[in-house]
Amino acid sequence: MSMTARRRRAFQRQACLLSVLAAFSLGLALGVFVPLIGISQAASKVVLPDGTAPAPGPAAMQPSHRPAHELPHFPTIDDIRGMEDGARARYASVSFIAEEKLAGAEDLTAFVHPNGLESLPAPVATSIVEQLLAGSAAKGGAAAVERPERRESRSSKLEEGEQRRGEGEDVIRDGIYWGASVERALPVGFDRRQSDAWAQYLREAEVERLEIGCGRMQNRLLVFRDGTRACARYRQNTDQIQGELFSFYLGQLLNLTNLAPSAASIIDPDARLWAAATEELAGAQWKPTKPVVITKWIGNLEPAGIPQPFRPLERHLNRFDVRNITEGLDRPARDGSVRRLLLDRLGPARPDGRDTPPAPSPLPSPAPQPPTPEVLERLVELAQWSDLIVFDYLIANLDRVVNNLYNFQWNADIMAAPAHNLARQTDTALLVFLDNESGLLHGYRLLKKYEAYHGLLLDNLCVFRRSTVRALEALRDASVGQRLNALFERTTTAQIRDVLPPLPEKSVKILVDRIDRVLGQVQKCRETFAER
């Protein structure tokens, strides 16, 4: 009996040890191989440094079957910070889940049904929403419940009508374009007619004096005889002058009105433009025959911040985000309106505690209401930002939002600071895209270091201006290099072209690839968010 008991205890010890080893092995496998699956999926979207994509494997060649109600994964700044330098250089479109830090959400995750809150019994769903909102109020924040809903065929028309009322037919069109009400409210800005008038003015104007100002030490504020003012950009290297000038030309081809009229000139003390300011030219140490870019002075400017949808914890903009803005779901309200809007979406509960399926509406959905002035002001700002993100991606601008993103690793508050080289006109709310000299040349040389940050902004944008997309499609079908150089030929003199070369062919090829990349993002958003 004594031997039998000892053997039994020894067997139990061995069984316990095997159980511990099995649990450890399973945990190790989950910790190693599951992340590898996500990494392999992200690697399938990588673009090689030479601009080509790796050969697709069997998984990459499978067609996408994402249901219409599911949202894509939005990459975050933490994804970039966690990459090695080599991975950043090869970044194109990382598909990681954006972290949503909702107060109390961690404790309630287990109670949320995969089909969304509406699939739960009304009392349970109501309790969850109340706990989420209570947790948010306790921490001083707003909890935005953003879960794509799986629509039942029985109530699809009802929910579609609710969605149209929330978004507003005039706010978002076709799921990915800004609607007519937003387009009508956009500031006029500077069109091509004004740019041509500025170039003509410089052919006849006379500079009276040069003053220190307009940014960098080598730049100068020009004051003309009639009182008109302008900023002159002077650089030792011509590539930054080319970058500023050709970025302006690209903005014209895209019909962007956020770039102030600009034109190239040559420092020539004998020319009419400079004859009265020869002493100031010498004092500024501007050398003759050097090219400069002269930009019309824009008054009434103030710093422009980065909108909340593009800050680190909430960086994405799609039609659901716009719907939340129009419904007021993205901001807390002291009167409890946010709570009421969320609870109303759950439907009424029966007295016996059982949930009641929503009854189909016997009346047609009311016409969408126009956004309030406050909401419209926010949407107008975001519409201009959608153009800004596309434009900065195309030219690979380093000196605007990418500057904030890159420095975020050292300064967590920098995203709340004003965006670099971006200003807002106080009287028109026009965003002015300033100082684009790093575009198309200098920025292209540093793509290996900064492409991750350029792509991060574009990958999270799914609302565009239709006119911008159409202009991009026209540039894709035509030769963008030829059109840019045609503008260069038309707006400059032979004297300027002798010292300022056209856009290099290498830059043109990179620009063509980036146009395709933007249109690819538009197509991805169309497949995900377009109305069906």
Place of tokens 């940014």: 215
Share of the chain above pLDDT 70, in %: 64
Query: Quick one: pLDDT at residue 270?
Result: 93
Q: What is the mean pLDDT of residues 258-273?
A: 96
Query: Quick one: pLDDT at residue 92?
Result: 42
Cα–Cα dist 407/427, whole Å:
31
Query: Quick one: pLDDT at residue 81?
Result: 55
Query: Quick one: pLDDT at residue 314?
Result: 55
Q: Which residue has the higher pLDDT, 175 or 358?
A: 175
User: For the ranges 162-166, 173-177, 421-425, which has the lowest average pLDDT?
Assistant: 162-166
Cβ atoms of 258 and 189 within 8 Å: the answer is yes
Q: Which residue has the higher pLDDT, 152 or 180?
A: 180
Q: Which CATH code is given to the segment(s) 192-299?
A: 3.30.200
* Tokens coding 461: 């944008």
Collect all residues with Cβ–Cβ distance below 8 Å to 459 and sequence separation of at least 6. 74, 75, 93, 94, 521
> The sheet that has 207-212: what strands, in order across it?
207-212, 220-224, 229-234, 291-296, 262-266
Cβ atoms of 255 and 468 within 8 Å: the answer is yes
SS3 150: coil
Per-residue pLDDT tens for 48-81?
Answer: 334 444 444 333 333 344 444 455 555 655 555 5
Query: Quick one: pLDDT at residue 2?
Result: 54
Q: What are phi and psi of 146, to 5 degrees?
A: -125, 90
Q: What is the mean pLDDT of residues 226-236?
A: 95
Query: Quick one: pLDDT at residue 280?
Result: 93
Does the pTM exceed 0.85?
no
Query: Quick one: pLDDT at residue 98?
Result: 32
SS3 292: strand
**Dihedral (C-alpha) 392, 443, 295, 480: value to the nearest 10 degrees?**
-70
Query: Quick one: pLDDT at residue 76?
Result: 58
Per-residue pLDDT tens for 305-320?
Answer: 999 888 765 568 889 9
What confidence tier does 469 reach under pLDDT thresholds 50, 70, 90?
A: very high
Cα–Cα dist 387/318, whole Å:
14
Q: What are phi and psi of 295, to 5 degrees?
A: -115, 135
What confidence tier does 505 reach under pLDDT thresholds 50, 70, 90?
A: very high
Q: What is the mean pLDDT of residues 255-269?
A: 97
Query: Quick one: pLDDT at residue 74?
Result: 59
Long-range contacts of 204-213 (CB under 8 A, 24+ apart): 204/272, 205/273, 206/272, 206/273, 206/275, 206/276, 207/273, 207/274, 207/276, 207/277, 208/276, 208/277, 209/277, 209/280, 210/277, 210/280, 210/281, 210/283, 210/284
* Strand pairing report for 431-433 and 301-305: unpaired
Query: Quick one: pLDDT at residue 29?
Result: 67
Query: Quick one: pLDDT at residue 296?
Result: 97
Cβ atoms of 284 and 219 within 8 Å: the answer is no
Q: What is the mean pLDDT of residues 28-32?
A: 64
Task: Look at residue 111 and tell me whether its pLDDT is greater than 60.
Answer: no
Mean model confidence pLDDT for the chain: 75
Cα–Cα dist 136/479, whole Å:
52
Cβ atoms of 437 and 447 within 8 Å: the answer is no
What confidence tier does 328 reach under pLDDT thresholds 50, 70, 90?
A: confident
Orientation angle between helical segments 122-138 and 337-344, nearest 10 degrees = 160
- Measured from the Cβ of residue 81, the count of other Cβ atoms closer than 10 Å reads 11
Task: Look at residue 9 and tell me whether its pLDDT is greater than 60.
Answer: yes
Query: Quick one: pLDDT at residue 421?
Result: 94
Task: Look at residue 132 and tell me whether its pLDDT is greater than 60.
Answer: no
* Tokens coding 396: 């690979």
Query: Quick one: pLDDT at residue 73?
Result: 58
What confidence tier does 370 reach under pLDDT thresholds 50, 70, 90?
A: confident
Query: Quick one: pLDDT at residue 54?
Result: 41
251, burial (CB in 10 Å: exposed 0-12, middle 13-18, buried 19+): buried
Per-residue pLDDT tens for 397-435?
Answer: 999 999 888 888 888 888 888 999 999 999 999 999 999
The distance of Cα 429 from the centroid of its chain, to the nearest Å, equals: 19
Q: What is the mean pLDDT of residues 143-147?
A: 34
Mapping DSSP onto H, E and C, the string for 329-374 reads: CCCCCCCCHHHHHHHHCCCCECCCCCECCCCCCCCCCCCCCCCCHH
Q: What are phi and psi of 215, to 5 degrees?
A: 90, -120
Cβ atoms of 388 and 405 within 8 Å: the answer is no
Q: What are phi and psi of 425, to 5 degrees?
A: -75, 125
User: For the ranges 59-68, 93-102, 269-278, 290-299, which has the lowest average pLDDT?
Assistant: 93-102
User: For the ranges 138-147, 297-306, 410-419, which has the lowest average pLDDT?
Assistant: 138-147
Share of the chain above pLDDT 90, in %: 49
Task: Look at residue 284 and tell me whether its pLDDT is greater than 80.
Answer: yes
Query: Quick one: pLDDT at residue 230?
Result: 98
Per-residue pLDDT tens for 442-466?
Answer: 999 999 999 998 998 899 999 999 9
Q: What is the mean pLDDT of residues 114-139?
A: 44
Task: Look at residue 169 and tell me whether its pLDDT is greater than 90.
Answer: no
Query: Quick one: pLDDT at residue 451?
Result: 92
User: For the ranges 119-128, 184-193, 276-285, 385-394, which has the lowest average pLDDT?
Assistant: 119-128
User: For the ranges 11-15, 48-52, 119-123, 127-131, which has the lowest average pLDDT?
Assistant: 48-52
- Measured from the Cβ of residue 79, the count of other Cβ atoms closer than 10 Å reads 22
For the chain, the maximum distance between any two Cα atoms, rounded to a whole number of angstroms, is 117
